[in-house]
Structure formats: C-alpha cells, structure tokens
A and B are shown apart, each in its own frame.
Chain A
Amino acid sequence: MFYRESGDFKTSYAADQQTFPIRFDRIVVALILVCAFLVVPFFINDYWEKSILLPFLVWSLAALGLNILTGYCGQVSLGTGGFMAVGAYACYKLTTGFPDLNIIFVILLSGGITALVGIIFGLPSLRIKGFYLAVATLASQFFLVWLFNKVPWFYNYSASGQITMPERSVFGTAVTGSAATPSATYLFSLLFVVVFAFIARNLTRGRLGRSWMAIRDMDIAAEIIGVPPLQAKLSAFAVSSFYIGLSGALFFGVYLGAVEPTEAFGIDKSFLVLFMIIIGGLGSIFGSFVGAAFMVLLPVLFKNIMVGGFGWPTDMVQHFIFMLVGGLIMFFLIVEPHGLAQLWRVTKEKLRLWPFPH
C-alpha cells in the first residue's frame, strides 16, 4: 500500500534514473544510514564490534569488489584472498614505513596498490574465459600468500612472521591498535563501506558499468559496437581489486590487528567471498551486502541460539551450523538461482502491484 510508484511522477531523466526511484526506498535507506551512523555507535560493545558489525562491513566490501569483477564483468576470480593479503600487507608496509601518513590515505593507497596487482593478474583474462580464468586467478591466490610468507621484507623481518598493526588515529581518535574503541573502529569502517558502496553504484550505472556488463553478456558484440575489451576487463580487475584491497587493509588493520597470511588469507576466504556474491546476487550492489550478511551473520545467529539459548556444547553446535548454513544455501539457490537480491526484487515487484497482481 505504501510501496507504490503511482503518484510518484518523474518529470526529468535525472529523477528517473536515480538510485532509489521509489520514495519508500529512499526513506528506508536514509533511516538505516542515520541509525548506523548516529545510533549504533552509542550502543556498540566489544562483542557486537568484533563478531558482528566489523566482519560484516569488511566482508561486504570484499563482496562488493568481487561482484564488480564477477557479477558485472563476468570474469570469475578465485584470487580474492590473495588480493586481500596484498591490501593488508600494503597497509602494513605503508603505515610502518610512513608513520605520519594519515591512516585514511594509507588504506586508500593500499587499495591502489592492490588495484595495480589486480591489473597484472587480470592480464590472462584477455585470452582465457570462465573456469579457465578461475584456475588462472587461483595461481595469484597461492603465489601471493607464498610471497608474503617467503620474503621477510614484507613482514619487516619479525620473528613470528606475523604482521601487527600499530596504533593510528584519525582526528585524535585511535581507530587501529588495542586502544581503539569499538565505536571508533566501527564508524571508521562504516564510512569506507558507505562511501564506496555509493561509488560502486555510480560506476556500475554509467559508461564503465555498461561496458563491463556488455563484456559479460556478449563480449564479441561488445567489441563490435565499440567497447574496447582490454580496457573494460582491466578496469574491472583494477576497480575490483581496489575494493578487495581496501577490505583487506580494514580486515587486517582495523578488525584483526594482527595476521598471519596462510591462515588469514587462505583459499577458503576466496571461496567465502565467491559464495557471498552467488547467494547474494551476481551483478547487484545490494546483493553483495545481503550475501555478506548471510555468510557472516547467520553462523553467529545460530551459535547464539544454540549455545546461548539451548545450552548445547559448542563443538556440536559448530558442526550443526555447518549443516544448517549449507542446507540454507542450497535452499535459497533452488528457490532463486539468481540470488537473494533477485528474490527481493521479485518481492518488490509483487508488492508494487499488490493487492491486484494482474
């Protein structure tokens, strides 16, 4: 009833192609943002920060990045973990090399460095497609993690081989290191995620996004109508790696504080992010967030219900969660192979017409 387009007339093309064409959507998004920025920071505690909100934000950013590459440009990649490691190590090297450089720039630069690395590993995509490309990107996953283990320069010759984030602050408030408060780290990550989600939306709706989608849907036709495949594919790799690098830097710097590459950026992380976008919805910004929420938050929810609610032993619950989440993944993919975002789109279409569906 409230979810209507009728009466909401668009009189200019600018209004017609805005991000949230329906007024109700605009209000809801604005409310969520206000809540996230102005309400949540006052109530956030250590548990909510470390187990729920930060992982969700960090993985959303990674999913957003992979979705640009795989969902919008159609290039399958299994190198996400490796690229996150690049972001993390770039962040570490930059901030220890230039301690006075503001952490915001450090993280942005880490994204930039990852983008360059992404372009290099994206070069094979000009020749190979689909599963073969996935295997080629797998090489980057193993090579990069091996590199960060092997070359001591990357971890500043520390004895343990780990990297540890020193304390850095923005406007006098610590956002990394042990002194950072939950609300500071949360707001810092949230800011990155919100800003870059809007940037992703802008990139995907304009010329660049269309050239990516054209390559995805029919690469030969795309080239013939004037999309340079080299530029389109490599820009997708660059932008996607930039996002994944940001998420890697936040993952290491803000969320974990200290990482060891083999464990933190293994192949399982690449698959995790790939599952997020498949379940959330390929080629959808919203889908990246839903997918990240699904993969990160559901296990936490189940754990709380089973351990906290029923008082079951933790190890048993752990196995139970694997089965439950696995089952749910299958369920949602059978119900809607195009992901949760598509499910939501269909629901919205039905809502718009309700109660007269014909």
Chain B
Amino acid sequence: MNSTRKFGDPILSVNNISLSFGGVKALTNISFDILQGEIRAIIGPNGAGKSSMLNVINGFYHPQEGEVWFDGKLRGSLRPYEIARQGIARTFQNIALFKGMSTLDNLMTGRITKMHANIFWQALWKGKAEKEELMHRERVERIIDFLEIQAIRKTPVGRLPYGLQKRVELGRALAAESKLLLLDEPMAGMNLEEKEDMCRFILEVNDQFGTTIALIEHDMSVVMDIADRVIVLDYGKKIGDGYPDEVRNDKDVIDAYLGVAHD
C-alpha cells in the first residue's frame, strides 16, 4: 500500500552479519538495508533472531562477521553509548524505564547525549546548566504533548500502568531525536485501543519528524498496515524481504508462520 512513498538513500545497511553465542548461531549471513524515512519491520517466529538483530544494530552485541554501515560510514567496534550519540535510539521488549525517576526525568535522560554542561556549571546551576536544562525541557514538553502524557509528567514511572509505561518508553527514545529509531515490540501486551494509539504515534513520528523506524512486531495486521518494507527472519536466517504484499504471499514465510515441519 505504501509502495508509492519515496525514500532516500540507505541510512543503515548491514552486510553478511553472523552472530553466534558459543555453538548457537543466532544470526547467519544476514544482509539488508533501511532507507531514509521508511518504516521497516522485522518479523519472524520466536527465537528467530529479531531482537539479536536490533542488539547488533545498536552495538550491544558485536557480530563475529559482517559489517554495519550507518549514515554513510562503516562502523567500527563501538560501545552502545557511542552508537547512541551517533543517532540510534531504541525501546525494549521488556520495558526498561528508569523506575525511580519521573516521566519527565526519563524523557530528559533520553536527551542526555545532547547535554554538555560540565560538572562545575552544574554545581553552580545558574547560567549554562539552567539554560541548557530549560532548552531541553522545552523539547521534551513537545514530546509530552505529542504523546498526550501531560498528566503523568511528574509521576514516578514505576507507578504507571503498563500501556503508559510503553508510551513513556517511546517518548524517551523520541527525545533523543535520533536518525534511526529501533522499536522492539512496541505493542506487545496491549489492548486494541492502546495498539491503535501506538500505531498512530509511530506513523506520526515517521510522518512529522521524518524519523526512520525499524520495528519488531508480532501483530501481523499492524505490520502489514504500517510497514513500508518487511524482513522475515527464521532460525537466524533471512527468508524474506520486500513490500508487505510480496512477503505475505511468499511461500517460505507462510511455511515459517504456519509451522510447516522443517526437514
């Protein structure tokens, strides 16, 4: 349905990635690219290696083989926080918010790569630190408005219900204003209404801010509706890649999802 949309050059491409833990091959020879401005879905049965793929992209795992190109440059072996600084943000499958902090502080932490006042300015507060804080607060407030979470601004996130926590986590990732946003099952465990809200947010983020998004999702109707292109993984191998309609009718994909016996 979205094949008429125009996208730019690849913002991220991975070439021949292989990742194994001891004898377990989590990913085997995977290559794909993500174009500037698109919504790219990664699907596959449980244990297919989807989350491992995201972990490779944001540098939490280092693949034994293969290379990652991000933003036109070959990426060396970097620590996750350095990759965050280059402009990749993500959310997690199991919510990984900072439970002792308020919603506002969680979102402000999302902007931490953009804050630079040194320790002496911060000790003084007046001046540079306060100016920086207020500037970032204004950006964060825009995200709070966008996600409609004004009322829980000062609530410690540990007290929030699950659906809202997922939303705050999306907010924290958005706050980073990254070039590439990785969403690991943003709709897992949500009811229909929450899922619709989340879809709306994802589409609006993509549309308004032009953020490139890679997401993992199990709800096929959601994936087919919002994704521009889909990658299908199974047992660590890529078995499909293309527009939703192509993938939907692919024989291998149907086999993997319908559970045809592997011989």
Contacts and interface: CB of A to CB of B under 8 A. Distances in A.
Chain B binds chain A: yes
Nearest to B100: A217
27 contacts: A13-B138, A17-B137, A199-B123, A202-B122, A202-B125, A203-B119, A206-B122, A206-B125, A207-B112, A207-B115, A207-B132, A210-B109, A211-B109, A213-B98, A214-B98, A214-B101, A216-B98, A217-B97, A221-B98, A223-B79, A224-B58, A224-B60, A224-B80, A225-B110, A225-B113, A225-B173, A226-B112
Interface centre among B81, B110, B134 (most CB of A within 10 A): B81
A297 interface: no
A203 B79 contact: no
A206 B132 CA distance: 9
B122 A213 contact: no
B169 to A, nearest CB: 9
Nearest to B108: A210
A208 B123 CA distance: 10
A14 interface: yes
Given A13-B138, A213-B105, A227-B112, A220 B96 contact: yes
B112 A211 contact: yes
A218 B123 contact: no
Interface in A37-66: none
Given A14-B130, A213-B105, A214-B109, A221 B137 contact: no
A283 interface: yes
Interface in A10-24: 13-14, 17
Contacts, number: 103
B200 interface: no
Contact of B97 (A202, A216, A218, A220): A218
B123 A203 contact: yes
B133 interface: yes
Interface string B80-106: 110011000110100011111100010
Most A CB atoms within 10 A — which of B105, B122, B138?
A: B122
A178 B263 CA distance: 90
A94 interface: no
A227 B122 contact: no
Interface of B: 58, 60, 79-81, 84-85, 89-90, 92, 96-101, 105, 108-110, 112-113, 115, 117, 119, 122-125, 129-130, 132-134, 137-138, 141, 172-173, 176
A227 B109 contact: yes
B80 A223 contact: yes
Nearest to B172: A225
A226 B109 CA distance: 9
Contacts of A283: 100
Contacts of B172: 225
Interface in A204-257: 205-208, 210-211, 213-214, 216-218, 220-229, 235, 239
A235 B60 contact: no
A257 to B, nearest CB: 30
Q: Which 8 pairs across A and B sit closest by C-beta, in order of nearness?
A: A226-B84, A221-B96, A217-B98, A226-B113, A202-B125, A207-B115, A199-B123, A206-B122
Given A226-B85, A283-B100, A207 B122 contact: yes
Contacts of A222: 98, 109
B99 A217 contact: yes
Contacts of B96: 218, 220-221
Nearest to B182: A224
A225 B112 contact: yes
A13 B58 contact: no
Given A17-B133, A210-B105, A223 B100 contact: no
B74 to A, nearest CB: 21
A218 B99 CA distance: 8
B122 A208 contact: yes
A191 to B, nearest CB: 16
